[in-house]
Structure 1
């Protein structure tokens, strides 16, 4: 038991240590040792649990990170902070520089979790003590998590180093992999993950991803590669899976028991609030951090149940602000986890794939299912392909605001990021990418050249 506790300590030490060098976690002494941890399924599972705890606490999947940062970067959130020591003000004003602390933190936190995923994959591959089934499950989940993180990094930074090992002497001098190559490698890794993952969830609360989560992420990669028919196949497989049912009541969308949820992250301690509610909550005063933008609020019809149930008006000194109110429990939370993926995203992604292939008639019912639940006007035939794609983009915004940076990724995929210039005075075309962190360029010149415009 003492040795087991020591392994747990090492795992969580590794998952929280700071990255002072590119993709390097201080010293090899802090690494998970495969000859010990991965000879026992309990400690191997603990390593994997440490990875998930790190995702919830401090990563692109944490509820207070990607959604918040990309929300202010685009047009879903307004920033009301009076100081800029964390870099958020520059994101809101689109005045990024390569020394921005939020940019560096995002990069470092993502690669830290990638390092841990790589350590798990290496440990499983070298293990002689784990069963074949356990090896497949653990490696499949670690591969999937790593792929999700790389998908975020590639969309935000463009060309990035694609690290698959834990040799820090090698990692700190890696060159960038081009964006198309990153997507190709992601497709290969995700297909391998699908071959390893099982369909049933290993926990009824869906806090660990299954094969359908892998299908969804692979479909996202295929969308970025314009492989519409391949994505269509994967998304239809999810919709045909009896594990999932559409949630017709928008008031229950963010309850952890929903069968429309593909994957969610459990708070660190029992009763903890989700990261989302703490990031977006304010009451009886003006916001001191972020609030929903007027642009977003004006996009809702007055009858839209999402506006009624997922946003809250706060009036102070005759000014009205709106906060995101998707999650309800600030204290003693027993009903909410942080939703990463849900079935509504599958509906809208599939509608997009079909529209891109001129299957407009087949796509319309998928969009209308979302609209009908929201109590807004349905799409009527005839409608053009282009008009339908814009309608899907609009529904994505109203459905997924403050969730995982949807607005940025959707606009980018549709080549419509330039439309932000209409409401963001400083928006420039090169803002489709963030700058590579200055600290990393100084430590590793092989990361040059810097992204255009920075």
Structure 2
């Protein structure tokens, strides 16, 4: 059972994009409750802290949809009839007037606003409260979220130069604030995250709450982003080795729990946004304070009442399908229909992440993928991890509409930490340890391991990896296949910080794929459904020929697309933002 957030409505100032007089902003609002009256005990402050968690429910905050289209992860619907609202992201023609990312920007500052309210209220308490562990834990959570949002903004907007909001604005000067340098923002959010790391407990009974392990994960990611590898390794290794956090990779048959309802807050989970299908069901589809999200609608096939507005790109689909299975792992063997056994059609990892026509072993909306859908119209794969395919036969079975999903959104888990630590080891010349941590991930999925054989009973690819070749594998296979659609804008940020974003779009634009027919084990023919790599038998036939990223490669401009620009609302109404 999920821990359902008790959402406490609290009186907040509202940031609105209209001009205001200084006299108005300096007037006392009679509708607000003063901190001196409200913060009388830690139970009241904890209720307001819950409102910070509530602000995370806003679908625009993480924006899985447009951040996936913006990277190399997702294509907008059918190749012959794409989803028009997504094309600016996919084709790299968006600008600062696009409302989607403006809403994401606003959602982050809403979290910061609420966190600052909690911080101010806690600071107004007497010393007898400040000496209590509960006070420090609440302050640690509030400062974590303030730091996290500044980390997100710094990582993805305006070359890192964003507005530091360290208090609730009161005067016109507070509202009209200029951007800070990227380094100033980094120094600011790291102070918050370090405070959280030092003051949060290793676990909470309520698993939806952030802990010292969550803070260590973000600190490690932050230092990785700035290429400060020794510091990154310190925090990441703490997450991996500190038994007090109780993190561990799911292995064996437990891998089937990942991204399922039964797997909410599993041992591998470090932080996930806690949605619910049982709370505030009457809220509107686009009520960003509701306890449901719209991501299942975006990812599910139409036959399951989804819109399939975001589907895996060709390269991602192919790489999932091409993963080599360890012949010594018993989980990789299934019935051949004739009394014997054979290797699975696709890897355990692929089966958990995506639906493809030749995966005849994995359940998908109560049946198998190729029974549920014909994979027609140049849509040859679907994302699984954002849908409720494990508990219903249709997304309409969750609530009255497929637009309302209570599925948790997984942001960070231990596998990400392993791969970040492996990257640090590659960058500091320790290929052996890097292989160890990458292979921990691959072993739990029953995949062929990387590197020369070590005498164990696993299959290895027998390749002698260098720093360059192992980094290539990490960039284009291990991280995207393991972590697609997780975290905040991680794929775009990764490609940018590696300095390969434009090169990546060019490479994908030059890669050819085509669709072949597939006959199921039951003898059903699924025409033009199985993705193959290589030159199309008939390049003029758009129903089988798959070429992607041509427009992205042509339109990509480092100055325009490496970071999102400041939203037009910020530049219009915040007079100091461009100073």
TM-score normalized with structure 1 length: 0.86
How far, CA to CA, are the matches of 2:151 and 2:186 in structure 1? 8
Provide closer, same or farther for how the CA distance between residues 83 and 437 of structure 1 changes in structure 2, counting only shifts above 3 A.
same
Aligned partner (choices 408, 411, 418) of residue 347 of structure 1: 418
Given candidates 428, 432, 455, the residue that maps to 1:357 is 428
Match of 1:4 in 2: none
Which residue in 2 is equivalent to 1:296? 316
- SS of match in other structure, 1:262: strand
Structure 1 residues 332-360: Cα deviation after superposition (integer angstroms, max 9, x where no partner): 59995322211101100110111111111
Are residues 346 and 21 of structure 1, via their aligned partners in 2, closer, same or farther at CA, if it must alter by over 3 Å? farther
1:342-379 Cα distance to aligned partner (Å, 9 max, x none): 11011001101111111111111100111222333321
What is the number of residues matched between the two proteins?
Answer: 430
**C-alpha distance in 1, partners of 2:70/2:266?**
31
Pairing of 1:38-437 with structure 2 (within 5 A): 38-58=39-59, 60-61=61-62, 65=63, 67-80=64-77, 82-84=83-85, 88-128=86-126, 130=129, 132-157=132-157, 158-169=160-171, 170-203=173-206, 206-242=207-243, 243-248=246-251, 249-254=254-259, 255-270=263-278, 275-284=294-303, 287=307, 289-300=309-320, 301-302=322-323, 303-313=346-356, 314-315=373-374, 317=376, 319-326=378-385, 327-328=387-388, 329=391, 330=395, 331=397, 337-381=408-452, 382-393=464-475, 394-404=477-487, 405-422=489-506, 423=549, 424-425=552-553, 426-430=555-559, 431-437=561-567
Distance 2:265 2:143 in 1: 26
Structure 1 pair 89/289, CA: closer, same or farther in 2 (3 Å)? same
- SS of 2:146's equivalent? helix
| Off by >6 Å, runs of 4+ in structure 1 | none
Q: Is the 8 A contact 1:19 1:108 kept in 2?
A: no
Residues 404-453 of structure 1 deviation map (CA, whole Å, 9 limit, x = unaligned): 3321122122222222331323222121011111121111232227xxxx
Partner SS, residue 9 of structure 1: coil
Moved more, 412-421 or 331-340: 331-340
State the Cα distance separating 1:33 from its structure 2 match: 3.4
Structure 1 residue 316, shift from structure 2 partner = 5.0
How far, CA to CA, are the matches of 2:377 and 2:301 in structure 1? 16
After superposition, what is the alpha-carbon deviation per residue over 1:169-214, rounded to whole angstroms, capped at 9, x for unaligned? 23321111111221122222211222221112242xx100110111
Structure 2 contact 39–122 (Cα < 8 Å) conserved:
yes
C-alpha contact 2:276 2:407 (8 A) present in aligned 1: no
Distance 1:111 1:135, change over 3 A: same
Q: Is there any run of 5+ residues in structure 1 with no aligned partner, and where?
A: 1-6, 450-454
Q: Secondary structure at the match of 1:263?
A: strand
Larger-gyration structure (1/2)? 2
Structure 1 segment 15-26 matched on structure 2, within 5 A: 19-20=16-17
Q: Which has the higher contact order (CA 8 A, sep 6+)?
A: 1
Q: Per-residue deviation at 1:225?
A: 2.3
State whether residues 216 and 235 of structure 2, in contact with CA within 8 Å, keep that contact through their aligned partners in structure 1: yes
Tell me which moved more, 398-407 or 358-367. Answer: 398-407
CA contact (8 A) 2:299 2:307 kept: no
Two-structure CA RMSD over aligned residues (Å): 2.8
- Counterparts in 2 of 1:200 and 1:346: CA distance versus 1, 3 Å: same
Q: Is the 8 A contact 1:207 1:265 kept in 2?
A: yes
Write the distance in 2 (CA, Å) between the matches of 1:335 and 1:70: 21
| CA distance in structure 1 between the partners assigned to 2:296 and 2:422 by the alignment | 30
CA 1:257 to 1:226, structure 2 compared with 1: closer, same or farther past 3 Å?
closer
Equivalent position of 2:402 in the other structure: none
Give me the whole-angstrom Cα distance separating, in 2, the residues matched to 1:219 and 1:292.
28
Alpha-carbon separation, structure 2, partners of 1:438 and 1:257: 38
Aligned equivalents of 1:441, 1:318: Cα separation in 2: 42
Unaligned runs of 5+ residues in structure 2 are 1-6, 280-290, 324-345, 357-372, 400-404, 453-463, 507-548
What's the offset of the Cα at 1:168? 3.8
Residues 353, 268 of structure 1: alpha-carbon distance in 2 compared, 3 angstrom cutoff: same
Q: Secondary structure at the match of 1:216?
A: helix
2:531 is matched with none
The Cα shift of 1:75 comes to 1.3
